[in-house]
Structure 1
Amino acid sequence: MSENAALTPFELLAHYERACLAHSAGTPERVANLGLWRGIGFRVGRRAFVSGIDEINELMAVPALTNVPGTQPWLMGVANVRGNLVPAIDLGRFLFDERTPSSERTRLLLVRQHGGTVGLLVDEVFGQRTMDEDQRGEGHDELDPRLARFVTENIQLGEQAFGLFSMNRLVRAPDFRQAAL
């Protein structure tokens, strides 16, 4: 049995990416030496965010959900993801108290937290984004008080502004961890 057989599809793709980069002109060491940072871009409501590529384990279409009574309205239910029960959180509802509409672009970001994995429903995923230290140095603070504890800074990538969203801060927030009513 191959060592890759135990990897999730996302982990397998990441493994293939590392192998390809190791054989390309821009090796990971060179990318790291240039001070480049990689993240996954996504949208919640009208806001665009990017989180470190190491903070998001997997992207997936929204699976069937089972309702959990007696929980906060932003806890949509639990999903069976390869035999594991994963709570699914409507990130738009948690952050802005606005329900995320279901569409063909809606995705679930799987994020590891203490004790398991949590799925975060987002409006859409933009894919990988890369920035250098100069771009990060030009960022500005978050002005929206609902986001300030999760968004470390706002940066401009091309024509779009992104909030650098810390999944680690989110999953450690006491109100996020308290889904029961």
Structure 2
Amino acid sequence: MSVQMPFAILAEYERLSLVHQAGVPEQIEAPGLWRGIAFRIGARRLASSIGEVNEIMLPQVLTPVPGTRPWLLGVANVRGNLVPVVDLGLFLFDSVTLTGERTRVLLVRQGNSGSVGLLVDEVSGQRSLTLEMQSDAEGEDDPRLQRFVERNVRIEAQRLGIFSMLRLTRAVDFQQAAA
């Protein structure tokens, strides 16, 4: 193994990180700039406010909970806390999320009742929306998402639904996991 090999690997990591770097400080702190975490459920691309997602994790070992709806996959031990994990694709679209190398769990607070993990197909990182992007927003046409998606914006020719985790965790059907 040559000494240059590790350096070449580090240089490639730096190149890849710069491709996805955040904006300059004045863009990050600009008034009206919205920042969120983008994720995918099936073919739908969504994003939730960065303040609504506490952590992004790899899928955990789950313990099934008898007598619950199919979308409640079980509970995971996250640093000593039992966290229910929900298949968000199954809850929203009746479509099971297949676990793969890009599958992630979004850890979200549920008011005063702890956290919940949401299994999603993929997390694609942080997204920022300017006032101009927000002013061109469209409504949501999918009835399954209308109560959670506040608006849809275009980023790099892709439609991105702004998904409210707060609305999700307060939804009566989401809170009623018993079968």
Aligned partners of 1:65, 1:37: CA distance in 2, in Å?
A: 34
Instruction: Select 2:39's aligned residue among 23, 38, 42.
Output: 42
The residue type paired with residue 67 of structure 2 is G
Shift of 1:139: 0.8
Aligned to 1:167: 165
Aligned partners of 1:108, 1:79: CA distance in 2, in Å?
A: 11
Aligned to 1:180: 178
Provide runs of 4+ in structure 1 moved above 4 Å: none
Aligned to 1:63: 60
The residue type paired with residue 43 of structure 1 is R
**Which ranges in structure 1 are unaligned for 5 or more consecutive residues?**
1-20
Aligned partners of 1:34, 1:176: CA distance in 2, in Å?
A: 34
Aligned to 2:18: none
Shift of 1:128: 0.3
Q: How far does the alpha carbon of each residue in 1:51-109 deviate from its partner, in whole angstroms, 9 at most, with x for none?
A: 00000000000010000010000000000000000000000000000000110000000
Instruction: Select 2:88's aligned residue among 75, 87, 91.
Output: 91
Aligned partners of 2:28, 2:42: CA distance in 1, in Å?
A: 32
RMSD: 1.6
Aligned to 1:100: 97
The two structures have a TM-score, normalised by structure 1, of: 0.83
Where 2:25 maps in the other structure, the secondary structure is coil
Greater Cα radius of gyration, structure 1 or 2 = 2
The residue type paired with residue 109 of structure 1 is L
Aligned partners of 2:30, 2:88: CA distance in 1, in Å?
A: 34
Identity of aligned residues (%): 56
TM-aligned CA distance change 1:25 to 1:158, over 3 Å: closer
Aligned partners of 2:24, 2:107: CA distance in 1, in Å?
A: 31
The residue type paired with residue 101 of structure 1 is L
TM-aligned CA distance change 1:34 to 1:63, over 3 Å: same
**Which ranges in structure 2 are unaligned for 5 or more consecutive residues?**
1-21
The residue type paired with residue 56 of structure 1 is V
Aligned length: 157
